[in-house]
Structure 1
Amino acid sequence: MGSVKKIIIDTDPGIDDAMAILLALQSPEVEVIGLTTIFGNVYTTLATRNALHLLEVAGRTDIPVAEGSHMTIMKGTKLRIADFVHGADGLGNQNFAPPKGKPIEQSAAAFLVKQANLYPGKVTVVALGPLTNIALAIQMDPGFSKNIEQIVLLGGAFSVNGNVNSAAEANIFGDPEAADIVFTCGADILAIGINVTHQVVLTDADRDKLSRSEGKFAQYLCKILDVYFSYHHDAYDTRGVYLHDPTTLLAAVDPSLLTYTEGIVRVQTSGITRGLTIFDNKKKRFAEVTEWCEKPTVKVAVTVDAPAVVKLVMERLMNS
């Protein structure tokens, strides 16, 4: 086994974020050196509260939490919040007691820049929400893209319909301008879209197995999963939930669980396709000079070993 990978999780908890964070803390391949928070499933203030709460549940209050942006990169404040998926509190309407901990003074972007400078080439960002904090870090420090080891992000709907509307996936739709900055920044980027995560399903039977286990994290998650299962049943007519965030986290833990293609990704920032991720496989050399020219390539996930991902999620949560 190689050396332990340092990761920062940029997160908007969120039920599947909670699962991903607890999974990360149960993964010996990675060391979580911080959580940064962003709007998405909930507003940023609540995301911070939930991140602090989850670290208390896990007994890991040594991990710092840096609060992120409360608005989009273009200073937009009309945010799309998915409380109808995750509950008004983001954690299945359990109304847990407020956490005792507080976020650090540094902003999420400043924390990201500092850690990338402190450990150049050694920090992976696992981005589970809109990409505002990452874009702010890129704007704050031109060296960030080269200092960061990798950005593994949950975002996009490559060659499939979105989950906000037919065109857009939720995280990209949350801040399309920020996403376009990140996709074209030149960092080593691995994008996990819903074309892949919709193949990874935690079934009702899996949830029953988790509830029968003695795993501390499994028991906690079973408390909060009801809302998430109900939403998936109503929206997709499925007896299970998609493991978007845990799949993305495991892509950082073990990239061999997925296969990838490489090309340029741009994000549509206006009109009815706002938030659309467009992939250029670079198979054709175009004569015209366009906004696609001279852009760096990124890796986009195309297949996933779904049974292996679910097995890892189950084992690690049940053995917590």
Structure 2
Amino acid sequence: MATEPKKIIIDTDPGVDDAMAILLALRSPEVEVIGLTTIYGNVYTTLATRNALHLLEIAGRTDIPVAEGSHVTITQGTKLRIADFVHGADGLGNQNFHPPKGKPIAQSAADFIVEQANLYPGKITVVALGPLTNIALAIQQDPAFVKNIGQIVILGGAFAVNGNVNPAAEANIFGDPDAADIVFTCGADVVAVGINVTHQVVMTDADRDKLVCSNGKHAQYLCKILEVYFSYHHDAYNTKGVYLHDPTALLIAVNPSLFTYMEAVIRVQTSGITRGLTLLYNKQKRFAEITEWSDKPWVKVAVTVDAPAVYKLFMDRLMDS
């Protein structure tokens, strides 16, 4: 008998690769998207909400609710790092699409996530594609949340490689390091995929041309929004292609066997020059002293990815849309 699709909530800050991930999720029969929750990151939260509503309209899925998330960090920080120089001022490649007709639901993102986890204990996967504020708020709000939530898949961290905001920090963790540390140490079933893995999954300039030639509605849409994202990567990384961070993380929820994992304790540096650094302790050595690492729960960290398989899945589903 066919297993029923896995219920997922995508917590997202729609820029360009979020758009790819959301459209990919809607084309993946293994998952059922039961809601989008929004957060700042690539754009401010208000615009993230607008972009989420817009993407659901494009996909003909306005039945899926959008819950607006936090506008500030977990410590009430208002000075946010917004990556509009990567994704365009509107987050979607400066296309200035018409405003969506839909509106977000009245519930906040954290309330919605907590409610769904209560309704379907053990059945919900949150795929977190931006800073982790909403998820940390859900953890603080409801003591039962970490038991009720099925899994939290995190796009975030740079494990044993340089970050992409600065040498220490990856963007999503840097967006709210205090929230990230709360999530990594909360005791839920957490899987992290860092840029050490997502940088292995690349869409080249030549691949983009394939999308342009395909008849898929979603493929055509993505071609419109990709220009800014490609030119940023050309300049910043000197590469002829873009990294598929968000779609890769999403595919952990769709097909976890495309990756291998290790178990570790992860802590996040919350201050100083290395603020946002994710440090992984593999428990190979038992330390005598009691420290901030002792008795912290394991999380799973993606170590390798079958990049060609991930890429093929991504292209097949979007070109066929």
Superposition TM-score tier, normalisation by shorter sequence? over 0.9
Q: Which residue of 2 aligns with 1:66?
A: 67
Cα deviation 1:113-146 (Å, max 9, x = unaligned): 0000000000000000000000000000011111
Partner of 1:33: 34
Cα distance, 1:8 vs structure 2: 0.1
Q: Distance in 2 between matches of 1:238 and 1:283?
A: 37
The amino acid across from 2:285 in the alignment is: K
Q: Note the C-alpha offset of 1:205.
A: 1.1
- Name the residue aligned to 2:290: 289
Q: In structure 1, what is the Cα distance between the partners aligned to 2:37 and 2:84?
A: 19
Instruction: Indicate the residue corresponding to 1:279 in structure 2.
Output: 280
SS at match of 2:273: helix
- Residue identity over aligned pairs, in percent, reads 82
In structure 2, the residue matched to 1:259 is: 260
**Amino acid of the residue matched to residue 282 of structure 2?**
N
* 1:212 correspondence with 2:213: yes
Q: Secondary structure at the match of 1:102?
A: coil
Q: Name the counterpart of 2:17.
A: 16
CA–CA distance in 2 between the matches of 1:107 and 1:139? Answer: 14
Q: Which position in structure 2 is the counterpart of 1:199?
A: 200
| Superposition RMSD in Å | 0.5
**Which residue of structure 1 aligns with residue 171 of structure 2?**
170
Distance 1:206 1:116 in 2: 38
Q: What is the CA–CA distance in structure 1 between the aligned matches of 2:304 and 2:48, rounded to whole Å?
A: 30
Amino acid at match of 1:9: I
Alignment of 1:76-225 (within 5 A): 76-225=77-226
Which secondary structure does the structure 1 equivalent of 2:22 belong to?
A: helix
Query: Which secondary structure does the structure 1 equivalent of 2:131 belong to?
Result: coil
Matched residue type, 2:260: T
CA–CA distance in structure 2, aligned partners of residues 192 and 281 of structure 1 = 16
Describe the superposition over 1:65-108 as per-residue Cα deviations: whole angstroms up to 9, x where unpaired. Answer: 00000000000000000000000000000000000000000000
Structure 1 residue 2: Cα displacement: 2.8
| Post-superposition CA distance 1:200-222 (Å, at most 9, x none) | 00011111001100000000000
Counterpart amino acid of 1:41?
Answer: N
SS in 2 for 1:271: coil
CA deviation profile, 1:141-178 (whole Å, cap 9, x unmatched): 01111101100010000000000000000000000000
Paired with 2:287 and 2:12, the residues of 1 have a C-alpha distance of 38
What is the Cα deviation at residue 3 of structure 1?
A: 2.3
Normalised TM-score (structure 2):
0.99
Q: Aligned pair count? A: 320
Q: Any stretches of 5+ residues in structure 1 without a counterpart?
A: none
- Which one-letter code corresponds to 2:268 in the other structure? V
The runs of 4+ residues in structure 1 deviating greater than 6 Å are none
User: Gaps (5+ residues) in structure 2?
Assistant: none
Cα offsets for 1:217-241 (capped at 9, x unmatched): 0000000000000000000000100
Structure 2: how far apart are the matches of 1:100 and 1:201? 34
Q: Which residue of 2 aligns with 1:229?
A: 230
**TM-score by structure 1 length?**
1.00
Q: Distance in 1 between matches of 2:292 and 2:251?
A: 33
Corresponding residue of 1:301: 302
Q: How far apart, in 2, do the equivalents of 1:201 and 1:153 lie?
A: 19
Q: Partner amino acid for 2:37?
A: T
The amino acid that maps onto 2:254 is V
One-letter identity of the residue aligned with 1:268: Q
- Structure 1 match to 2:6: 5
What SS does structure 2 have at the residue aligned with 1:273?
coil
